[in-house]
Structures are given as structure tokens and as C-alpha cells.
Structure 1
């Protein structure tokens, strides 16, 4: 979602003596909206204003004057902006979210805890959402919404992480996932085709299978994969989400789905075979016995289009919100209405077979069994959990940043992203999947930052993974290989800078700036006066956008003086 896409106006009301003056005012305001530097939004933020009095627009005013007046009026309002999840946000006139995925994450978290989402800003923060949606429909909408953002599957991992860290919020989402929808979720990861199901274990795949370090993640996989079946696409997708939470760079691994399937199979095998426990249920039996299978509302038909990776909801048409509300403010909508498809969607690629796996129950009975064995009962797990040397603390999100711009002395560290692409980091990662697991890219950035004296609290150091790199290696041989590759990449990066920029690596990296980072985005801000023509000529300060092996969307912003 681009910044321009966020500059939308629900209703513009102009008054004038003649119609041509109204048209002139609308054109001036549209031009001002495109060019104004709206204060308070911040790089990457989503800013929502319930209303805005734009004052008097004279027909002879230049667009620049209208833009300046718009900036001043927005500045007067944003000082009172509150975050969309803060208490009382529904009464605020200005609401913000830190990045494009946070509205969907916040929406799912609120619904997962049993809350309501009828505040005025939700339909604008999460376009396509209609207050009054059923809970199951809204949870699917939130999942689909994050996957259609620029971060794609990694945004879905951020959603799972946020719900997991909120007690009792993840299970409602997993309960509503149908087995037909699993194939579209796995296809979004890429790399697994329909022919890969049923999944066949091989020695090479087992050898390359990563491990999930967090005990609570393994417990969750054990509960759901044991009931769904380890080869069910939902089990593969859920396991992949936890793998991405621990190391986001794995999203660039073309074999992520296959490796996730191996992990799910190993976890379920460790905790026992669900068929041996007598938990196998046919789909017909599941629907008959499920206490959670609530009937669809009258007049509403739910259709699944797994081939396209979307779930469409058809129902009775709702009244247009604009007819019931004033301006950009939207209150509680009436009946559910058909959702308009949004651009983008899950990445195309292979997918697991959509047929219900033999011996695996459909979702209603699975949800019923899991509900009795998981967080709702606060009870025991399915089978046994693999022993650990020490108990782990419950997972809590952290270290990803809150989007607030903070200073850095190595702002040019992100200029090395296209350099790494040029010297072949992608090929090295694909040649050995274990390098995704140990965070080769993050280790490289940490090595460079430390070499040039960046403190541990430096914003660039943290944004690029400095606080998530574990120096230890279970396999000493792998540790030696990673250290060799980091030195090799460092040498090649130095050569690239000398040859193409006539700059030393220190001169490229050591640049003051500010960085704001979230779970999926990194925004780097420089002073416009600090633009380096050598860097610009080489294209190193062009927005990298989505960087798979880094697991982030990276954007640059050049601002004037005090704003930078």
C-alpha cells in the first residue's frame, strides 16, 4: 500500500455560488492533497482523520497555497492523534497505525479476544472491512488483508506472532481455517506443488529440516497438526509461520514449505500418531458432531475459491456507508455486503492438494477437540511434548521496533542491500538452506556495523537484526562456514564500492540518519542536503522495496533539515 493510496478522502464537501467554482475548488484541493507534506504521519505510517475543515479556497489561489493551508490544518490536528489500539481511540478525531499491516493485525487481535470493531476508523484502516461482519468472516478477512500487503507471507507471520503473544487470540483464527483454504496459504509461500502431496520424507530433507527453538511454538504445532494431520496444508502453513517468526529471512527459501512439512511431521511423530489415539474422524462425522459449527446467517452464502487463493463472501447487499454517515466517519454498518476484491493476493505457485487428506478430520471436529486440549481448557497437550533442558519463557514480541524514528550513525548500512544482491547473496542462500536458519544476512550487517563502531542501541544495528543474532552454533562446521561467508561477502562488498562508487566501505556506511522499523518495514530517513551523487548514480539509494532474504520492506525518505 503506497503513501499515495493512503491519501484518500471519503467525502469532500464544497460550497460556492456557481458550479464551476465548486469544480475549481475540487481540482485545487486534489492537487494540494497530492503535493502537501502531511505532518505527523511519519514515514510508512497510516494516518486517519475523521474530519478536516479545509477553510476557504479562493478560485485564484495557486495549488501551493492550498497545500500549505492543508499542512497547517493537519498539523493542528495530529498533535492529538492516538494509536488505533489505545483505549478511547473510537472517540478520537485522528488515529494512526505504524505501518500498512498493523490495522489488520490490530483488527484480528481485537476480534480474537472477543472484542468489537465498530469504531469509525476500521473500514478506512483496513479497506474492505465492514463493521457487522461475522467473527469468522472478519478473521479470514484480516488474514487475507495482511497477505495482500507488500510484505505478503511475512505479514501473515507478523499476524500470527501478534495473536500468539495475546493470550487466547490465535486459536479463534486457526479454528476458522478450512482444509480447502490451506492450499492457498501454502502456495503463498512458494516452492510446493500439488504433486508434493502426500508429502514423502527423504533423508536429505530430514537433514536440512530446521528446528523450532521456542517451546511454546512447538506445543502449538503439536496440538493443531496432530488434529489436522501433519501433511495437512494448514499444518504446513502454521509451522512455516513459526519458522518465519524466529527467522524472517527464511521467506526467501524456495523450499520453505517442504521444510516446514518435515518439521510438522517430526513434531507430530514425537508426540504420537493421532490415529493411534482414536482421533480420526471423517468429514461428515465432523460436521455432525461439531459444537462449533454455527449456521450461516440467513441469506448469506460462503464460497471458497482455493484455486485463486481467496475466500469470497456473498450475502445480502448492505446500505452504502456514505448514506448513513457524515464525511469520512463510518459508524456501525448494517448487514454484511459482498467484499470487493483487493489488488494483489498470495503469490502464485504450487499448492497442496485441496482434497481432504485421508484419515484427517475437517475443521469443526478438529476445532472441538483442540478446544478441549489447548488454551480454552488451559490443560494438557496432545501426547507428550519433546523434553527440553530448561523451561522457556512465554513468547513475547519484541526487538522488531515500534516504527518511531531513532538516530543512527550507520544509516548507509542499508545501501549494502543492493550491493549484496549484486555480489550474489541470494545464490549462496539457495545453495545451502541452513544459511537461512542462521540469518547470514543479519550476521553480515552486524559484522559491518560493529566494525565501524556502531553501538548496540543504534537504530540501524537493531533494525537489520543485530539484537537477534545468536553467536553460538550447534554445528561447529556450520559456524566456520558462516564466518567464512561473512568475510567473503565483506571483501566483495569493499571491492564493489571501490570499483563502482570510488568510495570506501566506511564512507558508504557511516552516514547519520534516522530509522524507524516494524515487524515488516524499515524506513530510512536522510537529510536532503546529504544526498551523495555517487550513491545516487549507482542506484543504491533507490527504494529496495520487498527484500526477501532480509524479510523486510525497505524505503528511503529524503526530508528537509529539521524534518530529517
Structure 2
């Protein structure tokens, strides 16, 4: 959690004298800036209701107080519950998969007319106001999402979740015809087409359709399907590529999911690409990946130090939740992204249609995973899209993958398998990819080439990518 986002709303200090309390305040401020409150835990969002530090020694240093805050924070998040659970209102710690997930869940509750008075909503979504009406809150949340660095993926994903839940008409009415195009422009999604299409709202695998992670989605509403406003159609067409459903076929034969906003029976558009000189790529079977580790329920971020007043009842035990960090044997695959950036892959994508970037990158990752012979249940397949039957596109992407492998060999004497075969845990959301490696997974050749540095927001992938090193179970 960045230091500029750490806010103490209520602070209770007991001291024998007032000057003792005044002396403690600057020490506490320094300790809060220095404390590691989930900084290496990815995008997972946990809100803590009350953080009791206990007795503090007189004259304590900022470093010692920082360690105490870290220890108490780690203890507080051990008994977290999901925001959708019945006990969330009385829990001491409530979990979301990220800032976007918190805003999706809150927006769906507002659209359905459900109460949103629980203590954790103002902490998880600071722009939310319990005194404002539903339309005002939805507009403020939408504008907040549209101003994020990853808004090009976050805003379409937020809108698609409401459409998938059957709330498209209510959402469009709340946003309004004037603010809708402004949101699209603010998020960097381009201008809204002048003429509306004949697209209709229909069920699809939404951006949150992970394996076993559909608890907060509702079935689309029954009845006739109304046309979507042009700005909403335009935003949904640019939504992140959908994730593989639980019962999907092998990645080589999985169909390409059509966009929301396309006519019901039409195939997904294939970006036109200029094919480079054909390159022969030999397939090489890699060794079978290491056995996957047992999945854990770790829940690590502690964003705020909020209000006091916990109930007297004991804290609930951790509940069985869908896996957050999924094990993968090919965690080093995304070290390929900085290589593509150095080969001017983003500049080549700029010459393609506007929405071709994330799709072409997902197809290139598909080719790489096929070459690595990654098992079909590896979570990194959720970042890939199978190639459509377009020979020119096949040749173009195979050429880029061959160039990347050639660069790796010349710069670091690394092969694709050597680069990618690194056991890790991966946390995927529609806007973020967080990879967690053990400390012994560090590599001098990768560090010398700068491949293990956080890429951050990549518009041509449609996600924020971060690499974390530490104790991984």
C-alpha cells in the first residue's frame, strides 16, 4: 500500500501527560510511512476495522513502532472474510480481490437496491457516500475508475460486470448520455462512434469469470433485451479478453470468444496485421512441469487503520474461499514482456487497428505457452487467446516470438524454456497480473538484463504487471 494512501481516520492514544501524546504523533507518522503494509502482496485489498497497537514504550523509535504496526497488521488479517459472506458486517477484516472488485460489488449492490451501510464500504471505496443517492454514487465511482492509470481495462470491466448482472439499463440511466462519452474519453478508449449499432445486452463470460470466482455475479435479467447506448457498446467492445471458462477445451482448440457489443451470431473481429517475412519455428517438447503445490488461502494486504468499535463476539475463523494465488510452473513467461518492449512490439501494434494490441499480445502468449507445452489447467492460459484461422497472423506472431527467442539467446544465453520454467504463484484480475516468486528464484542474468523489473501498466497487454519476491508457500 503506497504511503500517500495511508490515512488514520480515528486515533485513540492514552498517555499520562498531554506532551507525551504530542511527542508520539510525529513518531507514529514516520512509522506509518515506513511500515510494509502489504506492499509486496499484489492487488489484494483487505480493510481492517480496528488496529490496536497495545502499550507503547516511552521514547520508542519510528523503526520499532513501524515493526509493531506490521506485526499487529499481520495478526489482524489472519481472520479475514470475503465481502460477500453473511458475517462481513461484523468481521474485523474484510477482503476484496482488488480495488476494482470492491467497486464492482458496491455498484451491483447499489443497482439492486441492497443496503450498503456496512462499515467497510467507505474504507474500501473512499469516494462512496452513504448520504448520496444511487445515481450520484455510481457516477462518482465510474469517474474514479476512469481516472486510474489502468482505466482502459478497468472501466470496461466495471461496466461489463453490471451488464452481465442484467443491470445495463439501470446503469446507463444512472450514468446518463452526457457523462457516458466523457467517461470513455477520460479512460482513453477513444471517441464514441456517431451511429449506434444493433448490439444488445446478452449473457457472456464476464471479466470476473474465473474458475470458482463467480460468487458476486448474478444471472442476467429475464425478458426482452434492450439496446445498449452507443458509449456503453463502445466501451464493452474494448473490455479485456474474457478468461477461459472452467470447462473449456484444450487451449489449442478453444474458440475465440466474441466481444460484448457484436451482433449475437457474428464471429469476433480479427485484427488486420502486416505479415513479416515467414519464419520457421521448430516445436520442442519441454520437460513436464513440476507438480503443482497445494493451494493456500493466504490473505495479505492491510490498507487502512480505520474506525474502532469491534463487537464483543470473537473474530470468525478464515472461510474457504476461491484460490487467490494459483500455482504455475511457468511463472517466468511474463519476463518475455520486457523483451517484446525492447523489440518495439508496442510500436508495431500502433500500426494495427485500435483494439488489436491486447488481443495480439494474448495470441502471442498463446503461441509461447503452446511451445512450452504448458498443461491446459495452468492459470497463465487465462492471459492467452487462441489464434483465428488467419495464416498471415500466424506467420506474423511466429516471427515476433522467434525474434524474442533470438534476443534472449544473444543477450543472456537464455532459451524460452529456461526463461519461463520458474515455479511461482499468480494472482489474476481483469486489470492486474501479480507473480510471486521465492527469493531463490532470483537470477543474475535476468537482473543484468532488467527483465525482472516491474513492467507496470502495459496498454498493449491491458493489465498492470508486477513481480514480487519473498516467502511463497
- The two structures have a TM-score, normalised by structure 2, of 0.73
Q: Map of 1:145-156 to 2, 5 A cutoff?
A: 145-156=144-155
> 1:404 deviation in Å?
0.7
1:446 pairs with one of 337, 358, 366:
366
What residue ranges of structure 2 are gaps of 5+ in the alignment? 205-219, 244-259, 267-304, 311-320
Displacement of 1:515: 0.7
Off by >6 Å, runs of 4+ in structure 1: 211-214, 219-222
Match of residue 188, structure 1, among 186, 193, 197: 186
> What's the counterpart of residue 11 of structure 2?
12
Give CA deviations for 1:117-175 in whole Å, capped at 9, x if unaligned.
Answer: 111111111112111211111111221122223321321111122212324x3321111
Quote the RMSD (CA, aligned, Å): 3.6
Cα displacement (A) at 1:111: 0.5
1:3-62 deviations in whole A, cap 9, x for unaligned?
434533212222223344324433333333334444799421122111111011113434
Partner of 1:230 in structure 2? none
Measured in 1, the distance between the counterparts of 2:40 and 2:111 equals 28
Are 1:50 and 1:328, in contact at CA under 8 Å, matched by a contact in 2? yes
1:502 to 413, 425, 431: 413
- What is residue 93 of structure 1 aligned with on the other side? 92
Gaps of 5+ in 1: 202-208, 226-233, 250-262, 271-325, 332-400, 474-478
Alignment partner of 2:307 out of 318, 322, 328: 328
CA–CA distance in 1 between the matches of 2:201 and 2:322? 23
Quick one: distance in 1 between partners of 2:120 and 2:323? 20
2:32 maps to which residue? Answer: 33
Q: How far off its partner does 1:198 sit?
A: 5.1
Rg larger for: 1
- Structure 1 counterpart SS, 2:435: strand
Deviations 1:494-545 (A, max 9, x none): 1221233332222222112111111111111112232223222322222211
Match of 1:460 among 372, 375, 380: 380
Q: Secondary structure of the equivalent of 1:86?
A: coil
Aligned to 1:521: 432
Check if 1:408 corresponds to 2:328.
yes
Check the 8 A contact 2:349/2:357 in 1, yes or no.
Answer: no
Superposition deviation, residue 216 in structure 1: 4.8
- Does the residue aligned with 1:117 lie in a helix, a strand or coil? coil
Aligned to 1:488: 399
Residues 10 and 133 of structure 1: CA distance in aligned 2, closer, same or farther (over 3 Å): same
Deviations 1:390-447 (Å, cap 9, x if unpaired)? xxxxxxxxxxx97711211111111111211222322333333298289221121122
CA contact (8 A) 1:83 1:95 kept: yes
Match of 1:128 in 2: 127
What SS does the corresponding residue of 2:8 show, helix, strand or coil? coil
Displacement of 1:472 in angstroms is 4.2
Structure 1 residues 545 and 88: CA distance shift in structure 2, 3 A: same
- For these two proteins, the number of residue pairs brought into alignment is 391
* Cα distance, 1:192 vs structure 2: 4.8
* Alpha-carbon separation, structure 1, partners of 2:87 and 2:162: 21
SS in 1 for 2:227: helix
State whether residues 164 and 203 of structure 2, in contact with CA within 8 Å, keep that contact through their aligned partners in structure 1. no
Matched, 1:243 2:237: yes
Does the CA contact (< 8 Å) of 1:153 and 1:188 recur in 2? Answer: no
Match of 1:547 in 2: 458
Query: Helix, strand or coil: the match of 1:157?
Result: helix
Q: Distance in 1 between matches of 2:428 and 2:170?
A: 29
Deviation at 1:197, TM superposition (A): 7.6
Q: What residue number does 2:227 align with?
A: 224
Partner of 2:136: 137
Give the corresponding residue for 1:419: 339
Higher RCO (CA < 8 A, seq sep 6+): 2
The aligned residue for residue 430 of structure 1 is 350
User: Equivalent residue for 2:116?
Assistant: 117
CA distance in 2, matches of 1:549, 1:530: 27
